[in-house]
Chains A and B, each alone.
Chain A
Amino acid sequence: MKAFITVLGRDRRGIIAAVSAKLLEYGVNILDITQTVLQNNFTMIMFVELEDPSVTIEMLSDAMDEVAKDISMVIRVQREDIFDSMNRI
């Protein structure tokens, strides 16, 4: 299953490290990353694939909620379908 992970908040050190370490732990492969910092606001969009069949999107969401708390960012995990269906005919 493919998903988008969006990370928003104030820029600081170790955001990508914290997120990607957790993704590795859950067997998630990163397919694409876009990242910008505008006026100290950090925005990252990751396109990922859940490769471990025992990991559900809910489990990944819960894990990312913990990371979000640790690094004081807003992190969301959403299935790819919602973006596809709303933006493609």
Chain B
Amino acid sequence: MISAHEVMQTLEMFDHQHLDVRTITLGISLQDCAHPVAKIAAQRIYDKITHTAERLPQVSHDISRQFGVPIINRRISVTPIAQVAAASETEDYVIFAQALQRAADTVGVDFIGGFSALVHKGMTRADEKLIRSIPEALAVTKNVCSSVNVGSTRAGINMDAVRLMGEIIKLTAERTKDDDGLGCAKLVVFANAVEDNPFMAGAFHGVGEGESVVNVGVSGPGVVKHALEKLTTTASFDDVAETIKKTAFQITRMGQLVAREASKRLNVPFGIVDLSLAPTPARGDSVARILEEMGLEVCGTHGTTAALALLNDAVKKGGVMASSHVGGLSGAFIPVSEDEGMIAAVENGTLTLEKLEAMTCVCSVGLDMIAVPGDTSAQTLSAIIADEAAIGVVNNKTTAVRVIPAPGKTVGDSVSFGGLLGTAPVMPVHNESSEVFIHRGGRIPAPLHSLRN
């Protein structure tokens, strides 16, 4: 029998500690939508998504009401569009992004991800067409998200794709300059992208997935911070880790329950629960503040990487036991603009790009939602991507870059996207050129996985 204390404690998590299900993401395969005529393919894409996801908003609403669990977003992920569009005889893939947007509007979801290409080893003609369509696609659509995988531990890093993505990010910022470069907030460059990630902007329905699947992402930094607040400042790291583990267990259990229910009601197989700690810009829902709770004056100071490593590991250990299938990105997210504590640490000057890069070595995912000066060169953006991809490829983990070269802005300014995307102070980058390095092209070979040091 559940005690009154447990009931109240659980309600407290929902009411005051921002515990929620961030997203129910329905993955849908579009492999059977390919057609030589682009218009027909686009129509098939629209039809299949609207048919498969028709009941998603209602089911989400019902679950939320019955269990009293806030469910913030409903999302859809689809087969990387480059693979579906390859059969179509057209140069311009924007038509497919528009079909995704129309489908998202009809169903009533918050985001749709999968305007994507996987080019970690090489680029097909379709991959290149898709990538070159990204700036326009993200400018003319509102809820479509795009991702490109440029490296993997098995294949190394495709530096031609890295070079191209620097240019594409610049063009995307330029094309959406009236909205502070909002297009770039919907575009992520991955290394070791995962096939079952429910979080945006990087969600897509991998080729190893079935016809459709339900993945759930939870969010609970506020709950973890609150649990740590109850420890004394002299509590050992053993106690800190144990507390985080127990809390992660509870958070993940909620996600598992919601995922199972959604799977049953939609009659779609349950995929995974992603146990990432996803912050929001709301006060009290910050990953940075958890790190500070461990005893750091400001996130970004010495000790931050160690604190984050402990947090990330303990979250996984607690979460793994709570769910039958854990997947996606599963770790702590450190998106600057979406985390009130990270924003404060950047504004304070303690949290720098270099420290964030170090932090990405021990957590999920990467340099996320970072604004840099609008005059940052495409080659510098590519070099930032290359560094981050190298961390992922060498360490056999997913890394990503979601960077916004804020049009017309410089250090001291900030960009504001509103909602979950938040506000990002513009961070300085090195002015020294990486141009020759980026123009070499080719592939950085896959790393050796013995003789490890």
Contact = CB atoms under 8 A, between A and B. Distances in A.
Do A and B truly interact? yes
Interface of A: 4, 6, 32, 34, 43, 45, 47, 57-58, 61, 76-89
Interface stretch (B249-257, B299-307, B394-402): B249-257
A82 B67 contact: yes
A39 to B, nearest CB: 15
B254 A45 contact: no
Contact of A82 (B10, B62, B249): B10
Nearest to A1: B66
The 10 closest A-B pairs by CB, nearest first: A78-B68, A34-B4, A82-B67, A85-B253, A85-B257, A83-B2, A87-B6, A86-B250, A86-B253, A45-B4
A50 B299 CA distance: 49
A86 to B, nearest CB: 5
Interface in B279-298: none
B87 interface: no
Contacts of A86: 10, 250, 253-254, 257
Interface string B308-329: 0000000000000100000000
SS class of chain B's interface: helix, strand, loop or mixed?
helix
Interface of B: 1-2, 4, 6-8, 10-11, 62, 65-69, 249-250, 253-254, 256-257, 321
13 contacts: A6-B8, A58-B62, A61-B66, A78-B66, A78-B68, A79-B67, A82-B68, A82-B69, A82-B254, A83-B10, A85-B256, A86-B253, A86-B254
Nearest to B67: A82
Contacts of A77: 68
B242 to A, nearest CB: 15
Contacts, number: 58
A53 to B, nearest CB: 16
Contact of B7 (A6, A57, A61, A79): A6
A77 B7 CA distance: 12
Contacts of B67: 78-79, 81-82
Given A81-B257, A84-B2, A85-B257, A76 B68 contact: yes
Contacts of A83: 2, 6-7, 10
Given A82-B10, A85-B257, 12 more contacts: A4-B7, A6-B11, A32-B1, A58-B62, A77-B68, A79-B67, A81-B257, A83-B10, A84-B2, A85-B256, A87-B2, A88-B2
A15 to B, nearest CB: 16
B429 to A, nearest CB: 43
A11 to B, nearest CB: 17
Nearest to A44: B4
Contacts of B250: 86-87
B256 A87 contact: no
A43 B65 CA distance: 21
Given A4-B2, A45-B4, A85-B256, A79 B10 contact: no
Contacts of A47: 1-2
Contacts of A84: 2
A46 B257 CA distance: 22
A34 B3 CA distance: 9
A58 B58 CA distance: 13
B260 to A, nearest CB: 9
B66 A85 contact: no
A83 B7 CA distance: 7
A81 B256 CA distance: 11
Residue of A4, A86, A89 contacting most chain B CB atoms (<10 Å) = A86
